[in-house]
Structure 1
Amino acid sequence: MSHLPVPSRRALAWRPLALAIALVLSAAAFAQDAPEPATASQDADPANQAATLDAVEVTAQRRVENVQDVPVSISTVNGVQLEALASGGADIRFLSGRVPSLNIESSYGRAFPRFYIRGLGNTDFDLNASQPVSLVYDEVVQESPLLKGFPAFDLERIEVLRGPQGTLFGRNTPAGVVKFESVKPSQEFGGYAKVGYGTDNMWNVEGAVGGPLTDRWSARASVLYQRRDDWVDNTYPGPNDGFEGFDESAARVQFLYEGDAFEGLFNLHRRNMNGTARLFRANIIEPGSNDLADGFDRDKVSNDGVNFSDLETWGGSARLRWDLGRVSLYSITGYETVESLNRGDIDGGYGAVFLPDSGPGLIPFASESADGMPDHRQVSQEFRLESEEWGRFDWQAGLFWYDEDIAIDNFNYDSLAPGNPQAGRAVQQQRNKTWAVFASGDFDVTDAFKLRGGVRYTQDEKDFSASVLESAPFGAPVAGPYTVYTDVDDVSWDFSGVYALNDDVNLYARVAKAFRAPSIQGRLLFAVAGAPNGGVSTADSEEVISYEAGIKADLWDRRARIGFNVFRYDVSDQQIIAVGGGANIATLLNADKTIGQGFELDAQAYLTDNLLVTLGSSYNDTEIDDPGLAVPGCGGGCTVTDPETAPGSGLYVIDGNQLPQAPEWVHNLTARWGMPVGDDGEFFVYTDWAYRSEVNFFLYESIEFRGKSSLEGGLRIGYSWGYGDYEVALFGRNITDTTRIVGGIDFNNLTGFINEPRTIGVEFTAKF
């Protein structure tokens, strides 16, 4: 019997990409002479003019530009979207899946978000983990993962830049950058107040007020308060009665000085959060599948460990600008500090199999731990010169300096002893110093064709030390210090071109290279005795080169807008981490090569004058290419589908696997319909939906630890009056009450954690 040849996964993956390339070319042809939509005739009265899209200004290239002119794949999140997405006390993870190729998850809950763009991210849960997605808040990089969760409130915009951004941004950008820009002070008095109340006694209160202090000085103060009661009951008589509640506050105050040739913007900000840490649930996965286990109840758990999350951050920045005539000099100084402690029941249940009583399901042994950062300091400084209208050529160049000093505590506890006493402690210290010099320029070859390019030289060094001060029952003996020192340098660069087919359509192509400095991991409490360097592991630098081409177009007399691109990237020596597993430790590794390719679509259009629809979509095909790389499989309960290096070795070859937490498909859709009421009012309905396809939780592939596809939606129905100054709205988040396992713990049993539940509430906003 003959058999047709089965195409390889890589061959199959090229089919969506080839289709995407064809779509770019056809979209370019269509956009040149796209017909206008049929509309009723309009008279000279502005009230009867067709609704059009406003130009979107971004600072993706450190200058204010129209997003259509920037040769980078960019998505923005505006104020209307933020109002809906942040309803219900949501933290920064509300952005996950809301723009193409973006995923955000956390095994710490609200305290420690992990960002992924185009599948590139880092599942490392250690407090000194570095990520390939940089978060920049008000022009200051937030390097520590604990800083990346600062709440999103009183924002002018959010920008998501996909692909390497290593030339103009200072820290770890091989996957991309997420930029937050706060509303700045001005000479015009104004502000807003918002209060929301919802499910589980949820409160979301925020506001801002700003205006002139003198004819040169202005100020703006912004505050946020969020809280929610525990919504999960603990059926075991443990230290905690309930879980998943939180109490969080944040504040920001800014002062702006505007002189004749000097401008200074000064920022102070603070965040306090306390609540429960990520809630792990033992044996919630049905063996042999990725379904929820029979009898699962999302409102109940049985845990015997202590659970809490405390976090405090504060910082400040000074952004200065001198007008020197043909050039401007910028200085950006930033300071950030963190103090945190997170403690949780890692086994997700109570007791142990060798005791008379344990559960739910199999609990091989008890595990309760905490990670804290008692000391942290980050200082950054940038000086940048920027040309001012030099004709066909404009440029910018500068220096960047970064210094971070951190201390980390790792604790183990005995859940089986009265009072859950401490039973192990290790400490880590790390000093990271970086400096860089960079330059970038753009040249108008013709009126329609512009070239851009940039280069950055970076030198990075880390000095790391770790010690075991008190041995854990299953860990290494008291020992140390174990030290690691790294010192590397690298050159990042990018080159792009933009060609204007006409006033409304731009084609662009870009190639870029970026790198991430070495990472060091030292979770020593669970390292086996005699492990090399006590169990401290190091991953060498990784380098990414990316190729991208796309189209950006305004259509139908600015009633519609589209951005579409295809991309491919190659990562050399990608930093990855083997988490947990049968070895019960976390180990940093380098994959020889990783390949990613796909496409991204951003579109928005007024389908009628009262109906605005946005659509985002992305396809990301990622693959680890390293035939010799093997990692430990799960510690118990799961079915690993990768080949084992040798029978009984417990090591599995991950060559050909997709990256963890890297969905192939991400789609998002929003629609806002408004109906005028009276002279100054509007009734509106806004809905948003986000879909992601299946994801692997770990480097190896298994049946159980593969998250199902997910679709979550939101709804907002409201009435505004006073020309938008006042609004009352009913809102719902996760309105279908979808329950999905979004992450797992694999060293003990089939333990996992789930997404946020449905939230329903009401919100009132007043602007002044």
Structure 2
Amino acid sequence: MSRLKFNLLMASSVLASAVSVAPASYAQTSVDDEDKIVVTAQRREQSLQDVSVAVTVVTGDQLKDQGVTNINQLQNTAPNLEVEPAFGGGAAQFRLRGVGFQDYATNNAPTVGVYVNEVAFPVPVMTQGLIYDIERVEVLRGPQGTLYGRNTTGGAINFITKKPTEEFGAGIFAEYGRFNEFKTEGYISGPITESLRARISASTQQGGGWQHNRDTGEEIGDADRGGVRGLFEFEPTSNLEFLFDAHYSWDNSENQGLYLINDLTTQGGFGPTIPADADRSKTGWGVSPVLLADIGASPDRKPGRDNSGWGVSLNGALDLGGAILNSITSYESLDRSELGDWDSSASIEADTFFGSDVSVFSQEVRLSSDGEGALVWQVGLYYSKQDLNERYFSDFIDIFGTYGRVNYDQTVESVAIFGQAEYAISDQINLIAGLRLESEDRFLEGFGTAFGGATALPPTDVTTAMEPLTGKAGIEYTPTEDILLYASVSRGTKSGGFTTYNTGQESSIQPFAPEVLWAYEVGFKTDVIDNLTVNGAAFYYDYSNQQVLSAVYGENGPVGRFANAPQSKIYGAELELVWQPLPNLNIIQAFGYKEGEYVEFFDLDVPASRAADMAVYVDRAGEALPFPDFSYSGSASYLIDLGEYGVIAETNYSRRDFYPSWLGSTYDVDAYWLVNASVSISPANGPWSLGVWVRNVFDKEYDLTRNFFTSADIAQPGRPRTFGIRLSADI
């Protein structure tokens, strides 16, 4: 263990000793207070019920109840959201309302923007850190760009961490569960001087591996990750304030194992056949000595990662009297070393390595009104520069007799001017208009490949650029104080990019075009009665040049490559409900529905091409877009008042619909339900809470994703039933 991690763990232990009792009065937030939930979805503080955007808010306590420790697990908390792990690795593939981008490489932009304390993380693999000390998460659906520095077609996920407090406080949260999984987080917060406040938080997650090598019995899947964050609020004058954020994270976790969904005939038919796994807890690996030597890893290294990242940001706000000037300067860095075994066997059919050095600098400046009067406005300027140095190695020695190496650099520079204005033409009608002009250049530099040590593609440079004009127009109507009706049309765009997989052909790395999305939405937000809130939205998306993972047919069969589907469409709806039928009973429900189809797309048929051993093409016009149609989630909690103590019984549940794969029915993911439950006790006005929890109560067997790589048909399974205890304490 590194000295830094040891010191952090010792600090957590000291904090736990100092805080022997913990926080959380058993009082619950009632629905009567729901309209007081404050969000910053539109870059200013507003009541959730006053925002004419489809947005789901998840609190930090709700994340803990559901056992959410990374962004991938958010898919069970918001309607029409999916986060798919690529090949069981560390790259998250986000999809909101069916708008997503499936890519296991590092270099392309996502359709869903991820922000932490207003700082964008435009490289998906940078979002894989541990989630801790969170105030709330806001999930915005639909194109974003007139209020945000970055432009996205799918939506945005905003993480807002807890801020320094005006009075001293400290706390600890810890839980221990099945498979020796341990997670703890702690914080210290309070004033340093009259004008300076600080908050230091740290967290670590250990253990939890539940799979075993089918041949040796060796365990895999233990977590070893953590992070530390320091926040400093400084108010030198009454109209000027700064928030400085410095953070560091590490992840030395073992990968979750994949399992074989079909028999694997190894070594191109000349090796032994490994039967399909009937038990999802079984997996296999056997990393090539050539690959391990090439990356400088020890001979006994398991598939896993050795990642670390750090970042700093400075957010300043100056009240000019009638207008507010904001400046956000940030720098984020990731050093990634990730080893994968995508054939789930001891055979060397598909062993992979990603070595990524990523850095992102951004500067955003916004000038906005102070919210007074009929006109509310904001204008902003955004600059970002991303630098990526990537090594992608893959060993196919037992099936193709070769070893592939891909090396390249990529630089992305973006400049954008954006703004949005709202004007109240009456007490009931509000008009909204926004525009964004952006210029982005992507440079793929020195992209070269080699197979078996022989150059397949010499270092090659490719570029792509875009200058889209996007925007939004909308109308809000409030017939009564408790009802908001709205309609909007917006245009979003996602960057073009490059397919950076193994290839010996220059044509394979030629850029794919940006995608453009016209989004039409109507919605409502209502506080129907004092104890019931119902929000809903319906949408229709008109897609041009949708970026889809397709393939080209090479000498070894189909090879993944991104293509543009000329026309497609998506439509659907969401409904969210918060209800308090009894004083001590809270119920939350969320439902999502979406469908989509290609209108125009001529594509390579991968299953047919593999079966025919030649390229076979198909007209996909009229075919459904491959994503789940329905999503459903909810929770219920009940407070049992025992006088000096209170007991809260809570359950949360979610259903993911059948997920059809574009690769063929073998890779379809069946629908599944997940149910979690917990019971906790705390004093009525006391500082501690003690509880027990069960996740995946009914021990449902399910898959998160299915895929193939070379000869292996594989799947990443979801976790089985787990249970444990937890303690939280504040002073």
Judge conservation of contact 1:593–1:625 (CA < 8 Å) in 2: yes
- Could you give the per-residue CA deviations for residues 27-57 of structure 1, whole angstroms, max 9, x where no partner exists? xxxxxxxxxxxxxxxxxxxx99987233211
Alignment of 1:320-719 (within 5 A): 320-351=316-347, 366-373=349-356, 375-413=357-395, 423-468=403-448, 470-472=450-452, 477-524=455-502, 527=503, 529=504, 531-533=505-507, 535-557=508-530, 559-578=531-550, 583-633=557-607, 649-660=615-626, 662-679=627-644, 681-697=645-661, 699-700=662-663, 702-719=664-681
Q: Structure 2 CA distance, aligned partners of 1:210 and 1:631?
A: 57
- Could you give the per-residue CA deviations for residues 346-388 of structure 1, whole angstroms, max 9, x where no partner exists? 222233xxxxxxxxxxxxx722121120x22100001110112
SS at match of 1:53: helix
Q: Structure 1 CA distance, aligned partners of 2:521 and 2:38?
A: 21
User: Relative to structure 1, is the Cα distance of residues 610 and 459 closer, same or farther in structure 2, using a 3 angstrom cutoff?
Assistant: same
Query: 2:126: which partner in 1?
Result: 147
TM superposition shift of 1:111? 2.8
Task: Confirm whether residue 257 of structure 1 aligns to residue 237 of structure 2.
Answer: no
Judge conservation of contact 1:466–1:522 (CA < 8 Å) in 2: no
Task: Confirm whether residue 752 of structure 1 aligns to residue 715 of structure 2.
Answer: yes
- Could you give the per-residue CA deviations for residues 120-150 of structure 1, whole angstroms, max 9, x where no partner exists? 1111110112211110111000011111223
- Name the aligned partner's letter for residue 191 of structure 2: P
Q: Structure 2 CA distance, aligned partners of 1:129 and 1:570?
A: 22
TM superposition shift of 1:153? 1.3
Query: 2:271: which partner in 1?
Result: none
Q: Structure 1 CA distance, aligned partners of 2:321 and 2:183?
A: 46
Judge conservation of contact 1:411–1:422 (CA < 8 Å) in 2: no
Given the alignment, which residue of 305, 310, 314 partners 2:306?
310
Judge conservation of contact 2:30–2:586 (CA < 8 Å) in 1: no
Query: 1:161: which partner in 2?
Result: 140
User: Relative to structure 1, is the Cα distance of residues 285 and 599 closer, same or farther in structure 2, using a 3 angstrom cutoff?
Assistant: farther
- Name the aligned partner's letter for residue 43 of structure 2: R
Q: Structure 2 CA distance, aligned partners of 1:50 and 1:592?
A: 48
Structure number having the greater strand percentage: 2
Judge conservation of contact 2:604–2:616 (CA < 8 Å) in 1: no
Give the TM-score of the pair, scaled to structure 1. Answer: 0.84
- Name the aligned partner's letter for residue 336 of structure 1: E
TM superposition shift of 1:112? 2.3
Judge conservation of contact 2:326–2:367 (CA < 8 Å) in 1: yes
Task: Confirm whether residue 123 of structure 1 aligns to residue 96 of structure 2.
Answer: no
- Could you give the per-residue CA deviations for residues 454-510 of structure 1, whole angstroms, max 9, x where no partner exists? 11100000111244364248xx83432121111210111011111111111111111
Structure 1's unaligned 5+ residue stretches are 1-46, 288-292, 352-364, 638-645
- Could you give the per-residue CA deviations for residues 47-86 of structure 1, whole angstroms, max 9, x where no partner exists? 9998723321111111101111111111100233122022
Judge conservation of contact 1:580–1:634 (CA < 8 Å) in 2: no
Q: Structure 1 CA distance, aligned partners of 2:278 and 2:706?
A: 16
Q: Structure 2 CA distance, aligned partners of 1:203 and 1:647?
A: 49
Q: Structure 2 CA distance, aligned partners of 1:100 and 1:185?
A: 31
Query: 2:77: which partner in 1?
Result: 98
User: Relative to structure 1, is the Cα distance of residues 538 and 472 closer, same or farther in structure 2, using a 3 angstrom cutoff?
Assistant: farther
Query: 1:14: which partner in 2?
Result: none
Query: 2:8: which partner in 1?
Result: none
TM superposition shift of 1:109? 4.3
- Name the aligned partner's letter for residue 513 of structure 1: R
Give the TM-score of the pair, scaled to structure 2. Answer: 0.88
Judge conservation of contact 2:149–2:381 (CA < 8 Å) in 1: no
SS at match of 2:388: strand
Judge conservation of contact 1:166–1:173 (CA < 8 Å) in 2: yes
- Could you give the per-residue CA deviations for residues 290-313 of structure 1, whole angstroms, max 9, x where no partner exists? xxx976112222332351222211
User: Relative to structure 1, is the Cα distance of residues 587 and 422 closer, same or farther in structure 2, using a 3 angstrom cutoff?
Assistant: closer
Judge conservation of contact 2:115–2:156 (CA < 8 Å) in 1: yes
Judge conservation of contact 1:286–1:704 (CA < 8 Å) in 2: no
Query: 1:25: which partner in 2?
Result: none
Judge conservation of contact 1:53–1:560 (CA < 8 Å) in 2: no
Q: Structure 1 CA distance, aligned partners of 2:371 and 2:573?
A: 34
TM superposition shift of 1:623? 1.2
Structure 2's unaligned 5+ residue stretches are 1-26, 266-274, 288-301
Q: Structure 1 CA distance, aligned partners of 2:277 and 2:355?
A: 35
- Could you give the per-residue CA deviations for residues 655-681 of structure 1, whole angstroms, max 9, x where no partner exists? 333333x210000010011111223x2
The aligned length equals: 677
- Name the aligned partner's letter for residue 659 of structure 1: L
* Percent identity for Structure 1 against Structure 2: 25
Judge conservation of contact 2:402–2:452 (CA < 8 Å) in 1: no
SS at match of 2:99: coil
TM superposition shift of 1:714? 0.7
SS at match of 2:63: helix
Q: Structure 2 CA distance, aligned partners of 1:97 and 1:132?
A: 19
TM superposition shift of 1:573? 0.4
Q: Structure 1 CA distance, aligned partners of 2:199 and 2:339?
A: 36
Query: 1:34: which partner in 2?
Result: none
User: Relative to structure 1, is the Cα distance of residues 273 and 580 closer, same or farther in structure 2, using a 3 angstrom cutoff?
Assistant: farther
TM superposition shift of 1:584? 4.4
Judge conservation of contact 1:184–1:254 (CA < 8 Å) in 2: yes
Q: Structure 1 CA distance, aligned partners of 2:550 and 2:354?
A: 19
TM superposition shift of 1:413? 3.1
User: Relative to structure 1, is the Cα distance of residues 553 and 246 closer, same or farther in structure 2, using a 3 angstrom cutoff?
Assistant: same
TM superposition shift of 1:158? 0.6
- Name the aligned partner's letter for residue 227 of structure 1: Q
Task: Confirm whether residue 742 of structure 1 aligns to residue 704 of structure 2.
Answer: yes
Q: Structure 1 CA distance, aligned partners of 2:40 and 2:71?
A: 21
TM superposition shift of 1:722? 4.9
SS at match of 1:540: coil
User: Relative to structure 1, is the Cα distance of residues 666 and 193 closer, same or farther in structure 2, using a 3 angstrom cutoff?
Assistant: same
SS at match of 2:65: helix
- Name the aligned partner's letter for residue 544 of structure 1: L
User: Relative to structure 1, is the Cα distance of residues 370 and 731 closer, same or farther in structure 2, using a 3 angstrom cutoff?
Assistant: same
User: Relative to structure 1, is the Cα distance of residues 595 and 397 closer, same or farther in structure 2, using a 3 angstrom cutoff?
Assistant: same
Query: 2:270: which partner in 1?
Result: none
Q: Structure 1 CA distance, aligned partners of 2:707 and 2:551?
A: 9
Judge conservation of contact 2:434–2:473 (CA < 8 Å) in 1: yes
Query: 1:219: which partner in 2?
Result: 198
